[in-house]
């Protein structure tokens, strides 16, 4: 009978927290990165991001779908870690501690990355994309 190897807590939490954080803010980061590399114009970058927000600038259904997907990714990471960890014969207290640490890490890193990218993308849009859009549309 072979014993399954215990999953690596750090790698697991980083994989799912980074994926969740990026998935939650993809609506703003994707057009900013594409604009940064010259693959998208300012007008198109703004219209891409506008798809996820309402006319008044508040969060739209597209942004909520991405946030729900990010939450689902985090939950799946916790669920799959728990399932994989339960295949190992380690102390139940240690399993519980690992699960608590994993959950806290996924929430902290995922949310921190989401908020950091949100601030960065808002700054980048204001500093670079909006002026490019106005220049493309000849708005003064």
User: What are the tens digits of pLDDT across the range 2-19?
Assistant: 556 778 999 999 999 999
Q: Using DSSP, state whether 53 is helix, strand or coil.
A: strand
Which range marks the domain in which residue 38 is found? 9-136
In a domain, residue 42? The reply is: yes
pLDDT beneath 50: ranges in the chain:
1
In a domain, residue 4? The reply is: no
In a domain, residue 128? The reply is: yes
Residues 6+ apart with CB under 8 A from 76: 16
Tell me how far apart the alpha carbons of residues 99 and 92 are, in angstroms, rounded to a whole number: 10
Question: Residue 140's pLDDT is what?
Answer: 58
Rg of the chain over CA atoms, in angstroms? 20
In a domain, residue 2? The reply is: no
For the chain, what is the domain count?
1
Digit-coded pLDDT (tens) for 93-109: 988 999 999 999 999 99
Question: Residue 3's pLDDT is what?
Answer: 57
To the question of pTM greater than 0.85 for the whole model, the response is yes
In a domain, residue 65? The reply is: yes
Tell me how far apart the alpha carbons of residues 97 and 121 are, in angstroms, rounded to a whole number: 35
Cβ neighbourhood burial of 40 (10 Å; 0-12, 13-18, 19+): buried
Cβ neighbourhood burial of 55 (10 Å; 0-12, 13-18, 19+): exposed
In a domain, residue 126? The reply is: yes
In a domain, residue 1? The reply is: no
In which residue are the tokens 């890193």 written? 109
In a domain, residue 23? The reply is: yes
């Amino acid at each position: 009978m072979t014993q399954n190897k215990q999953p690596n807590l750090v790698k697991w939490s980083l994989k799912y927290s980074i994926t969740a954080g990026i998935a939650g803010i993809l609506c703003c980061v994707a057009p900013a990165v594409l604009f940064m590399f010259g693959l998208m114009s300012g007008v198109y970058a703004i219209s891409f991001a506008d798809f996820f927000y309402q006319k008044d600038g508040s969060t739209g259904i597209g942004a909520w779908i991405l946030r729900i997907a990010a939450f689902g990714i985090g939950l799946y990471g916790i669920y799959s870690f728990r399932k994989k960890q339960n295949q190992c014969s380690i102390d139940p207290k240690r399993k519980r501690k690992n699960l608590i640490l994993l959950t806290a890490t996924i929430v902290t890193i995922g949310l921190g990355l989401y908020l950091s990218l949100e601030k960065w993308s808002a700054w980048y849009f204001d500093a670079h994309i909006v002026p490019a859009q106005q220049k493309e549309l000849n708005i003064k």
